[in-house]
Structure 1
Amino acid sequence: MTTERAEFSASGEMQEVGSGKHSDRLSGNMGVGELVMSVLAFSAPLATVAGFIPVLLMFSGHTGPAIYMLVTILLVLFSVGFTTMGRRVQNPGGFYAFVTAGLGRPIGLGGAFLATFGYTAIGFFAPPFFAVTIQSYVVDNLHGPHIPWYWYALGLVAVTTALAYRRIDLSAKVLTAVMVLEVILVVVFDVAAFVHGEPAGAGGAGFALPHISDSNLGLAVLFVVGNFLGFEATVIFRDEVKNPDRTIPLATYIAVVSVGVFYAIAAWAYIAFFGANKVQDAATNDTAGMFTSALLNLTGKIVVDIVTILLMTSILASVLSIHNVAARYLFSLGADGVLPTFLGKVHPRHRSPFVSAALVGGVWAIAVLLFTAIGVGPDKLYPIASGSGTFAVLLLMLATSVSVVVYLRKNRGDDADSLWKTLIAPVLTVIGLGVVTVLAVANYSDLLGDTGLITALFLGLTFILPIAGVVVAYILRATKPDVYQRIGRQQL
């Protein structure tokens, strides 16, 4: 009996050597704009501007915009090695494929398990957060009935699962439409804040670089890094974009720079409105209502009502983007045969990872019911899910940056890639992300906002799952060498 094995052609298509057959592949027709919008949606722009930036300003004050720009520079450096390696490892495995190619299959599989948990955890912030937001709006603004939060949460999971089940182009169109509306609204806020901001006596629109001795600098940097997570989607959707060799690098750089500049300007707009000398106190005294009160003062109640509705669609767009990424990790693990192969099935009409998408939605639905049954409220749940998922993906990014250095040093080739692309920028990235990771460990309880049993559960999974992935890889090497060779969607 001959042993069939998988390999990737130059175009990224997986073939079963020995059978002569092509396995099913995902497909789509996303361009640069739709791919960028999918990445931007991950960070939920309106939810970030309304809910996150006030928290950042509470920690950083008028240094907030500068922190955004510093993190943007770090992630542009990351993108240099990321896109260079993306031209060498031409498959849709994302960080899973990159870590495997650079650091070996056992660590690569550990990274895949960590990524699957991280993105699933990040996405689980949305059902309880959406439920709290819409429940408050229905009761306080519409004077409607008080419906238990879990019904709203399950409704959101059902909608995103239905969209993720279908062809990626549908999700891309929904995300693009929502993102355009959100961006327009934030730009309106920015312009109004700069035009009608506090006079120079309150500090005006000035901002400054943070001091290394600032006690809250570490936590501020961690929150900002979390806003950039999701640009990995540019390589995960490789089989679902037009002209990937051009689209993916261009979309990656546009996404990283756009996210950084967009949020830096929004943070600066807060400073302009409240004044550099007053913004930190304003954020501390009214963190949750800071955006709403500023917008009400600048534009009036009608715009605030529109913001409330768009905030809910912002959460929907964010969780849909995350849902698509998590589903494709499960799909890759199923296609490699590491997890049950049915997870690697492609819908015959939608060309989507429909089984994996349904499983992610099912996990979220079960989690909603489970935490409801044990009495964990949505206000406590969403920061823990978001913080632990952010930490997991940050660890994965550090592993990816190390693997980029190792891989590009081992595979220099005869191409025209410069020393800047293959060594200098990747090494600087490792140093920068290493510092951020140390800050994450030092501020872990603050990142999650809790130190109880639920936090311990999420933290335990963060470290147990990647170790389990390494163990599973060694078991596969001994018992199923053909499956072991497929780990990481690598070219054999």
Structure 2
Amino acid sequence: MTTQGLTRRQMSGGGVWLFQVGASSPMAVLAGGIVATYASTAVVATPLTFPLLGALLGLLAVGYVAMSRAVPNAAPAYALLAHSFGPVTGLAGGALALVFYSAIQMSLYGLIGFTVATLLGGSWVLWAAVVWLAVAVCGLLHVSMSAFVVGAVLFVELAVITLFDIAGFAHPAGGVISVTPVTFTGLWSPGIGGAFALGIAAFIGFDTAPAYSEEVRTSRSIGRATLAALLFMSLFYCTSAWALAIAVGPDQVAATAGDPSAGLPFALFDRWYGSGLSLLATLLLITSVTVAMLSFHNTIARYLFSMAREGVLPGWLARTGTSGRAQGAPTGGSIVQSASALMVVGVFVLAGADPMRVVFTWLSAAGAAGILVMLVLISAGAIRFYRRGGGTSEGLLVTTVLPALGVVAGAGVLVIMVLHLDSLLQIPPDSPRQLIIPAAVVGTLVVGVIWGSVLKARGARVLNDVGKGRPDPLRVLDQRLQDLDV
């Protein structure tokens, strides 16, 4: 292995899109997120929350993606916040990304272990270990190999969900396709805060694209892939949520979703297409979650690589493969990510934690909150970056107006999420355990600031390089040509 760097200019925009949508895990959104939202919030207008959240996240993505073209880096939150507010803030952003992307990835071990154990029997811990090994091996491969795996699984998964949507509209409860689930008046419901909070988790993954900004063929690929991913997820998840409500009946969907014996959505697959497709859908839930775990694994490994390359983490984390299918892959960061997942999930196992109610629910909720904070900070940072003269080819709309709207809207949704953690975590509204996740986010930021402050107090020269990466002459030339529309 070497510290030479990631493989440059090898990944297409389509490959980035695959990792974004794959990280979102569409089958898990249908079988887990949408069903859970109906069950816990009773918001019949749940389908509308997806395009609304997609628009919000689109605002947050504008400054993020624009800055990633000017500052391509495998650890975007770390690099972009460093260029906006200084190296100490950059380290705080890097800490947020590492902790909360890891939280989301690790939460999925509970979901997949429980799902496989329910289907095939045995301990959820054993099945989670099998998946861990698969992700660890695939994470050591070049991104093009990983993209092939992600794409193959995702294609079948989306096809099966599309069959579900078609059947849902073709077999509406009561014989009529109701528009109640897509009526805006349905958003004025007591549970809307929880629906928004749960919906945010369905989109996590769209934001991973800038982590591949050093590997894509053109700097424009990141923006195009992100826009395409957000549009696709907004419409696809809205359609699937609507199809589920229509199939069960808008007036019955909350109660049915909350009944474990109803077996949504797999019981509907069984009714419409027979046990064969129902089994395939269950298997696809497993592969979908595995693909999502691989996508987050790749993102975390690239953060570790980039931060180690600049000297704020041990240098051996910047090692990359030199031959075969591992050439250019961030092997040092990949190994550490696998080891940390094993240790953290192992602690939950030793504590006897329930795989769904604790491992999956708590870690995924924490991950969604932490990443949303990170995106709001980056949008604020983009405004400052461009006001200080960063970048040269973006207009006022991109540099100020849309990022400012994103900050306001993102902060509002974040407040709603925190105020409705009881519905996310299924705990009493007055439980002090609601403070754990906000405290974890604040604590991570504080640790990052302390980390940077200590380096600054020691006069560490590495702070001068935070977020700068290693310049690639070909990428610099490509960016200049595109700015000139050559």
TM > 0.5 fold call: yes
Q: Which residue of 1 aligns with 2:77?
A: 95
Q: Which residue of 1 aligns with 2:22?
A: 41
Instruction: Report if the CA contact (8 A) 1:342-1:355 is conserved.
Output: yes
Q: Which residue of 2 aligns with 1:62?
A: 44
Unaligned runs of 5+ in 1: 1-21, 140-146
Instruction: Report if the CA contact (8 A) 1:202-1:276 is conserved.
Output: no
* SS class of match (1:351): coil
| Residue pairs, 1:82-481, within 5 angstroms | 82-139=64-121, 147-199=122-174, 203=178, 207-209=182-184, 213-243=188-218, 245-286=219-260, 289-349=263-323, 350-379=327-356, 380-411=358-389, 415=393, 417-450=394-427, 460-481=439-460
Q: Which residue of 2 aligns with 1:12?
A: none
Instruction: Report if the CA contact (8 A) 2:180-2:186 is conserved.
Output: no
* SS class of match (1:166): coil
Task: Give the stretch that moved more between structures: 358-367 or 116-125.
Answer: 358-367
Q: CA deviation at 1:130?
A: 1.1
- Give the Cα–Cα distance (whole angstroms) in 1 for the partners of residues 278 and 83 of structure 2: 49
- Give the Cα–Cα distance (whole angstroms) in 1 for the partners of residues 374 and 63 of structure 2: 15
Unaligned runs of 5+ in 2: 472-486
* Cα distance change on mapping 1:183 and 1:280 into 2, 3 Å: same
- Structure 1 residue corresponding to 2:12, chosen from 12, 28, 31: 31
- Give the Cα–Cα distance (whole angstroms) in 2 for the partners of residues 459 and 414 of structure 1: 37
Q: CA deviation at 1:285?
A: 3.4
- Give the Cα–Cα distance (whole angstroms) in 1 for the partners of residues 106 and 281 of structure 2: 23
- Give the Cα–Cα distance (whole angstroms) in 1 for the partners of residues 411 and 432 of structure 2: 28
Cα deviations by residue, 1:311-349 (Å, 9 ceiling, x for unpaired): 111111011111111111111221121111111112222
Cα deviations by residue, 1:105-146 (Å, 9 ceiling, x for unpaired): 11111111111000111101122211111111113xxxxxxx
Root mean square deviation, CA, Å: 2.4
* Cα distance change on mapping 1:487 and 1:60 into 2, 3 Å: farther
Q: Which residue of 1 aligns with 2:480?
A: none
Which letter does structure 1 place at the counterpart of 2:424? L
- Give the Cα–Cα distance (whole angstroms) in 1 for the partners of residues 465 and 149 of structure 2: 34
- Give the Cα–Cα distance (whole angstroms) in 2 for the partners of residues 264 and 467 of structure 1: 37
Q: CA deviation at 1:412?
A: 6.3
Percent pairwise identity: 25
**TM-score, structure 1 length as denominator?**
0.88
Q: CA deviation at 1:202?
A: 8.2
Which letter does structure 2 place at the counterpart of 1:371? F
* SS class of match (2:265): helix
**TM-score, structure 2 length as denominator?**
0.89
- Give the Cα–Cα distance (whole angstroms) in 2 for the partners of residues 197 and 211 of structure 1: 19
Q: CA deviation at 1:462?
A: 2.8
Q: Which residue of 1 aligns with 2:475?
A: none
Instruction: Report if the CA contact (8 A) 1:114-1:462 is conserved.
Output: yes
Instruction: Report if the CA contact (8 A) 2:81-2:381 is conserved.
Output: yes
Task: Give the number of aligned pairs.
Answer: 462
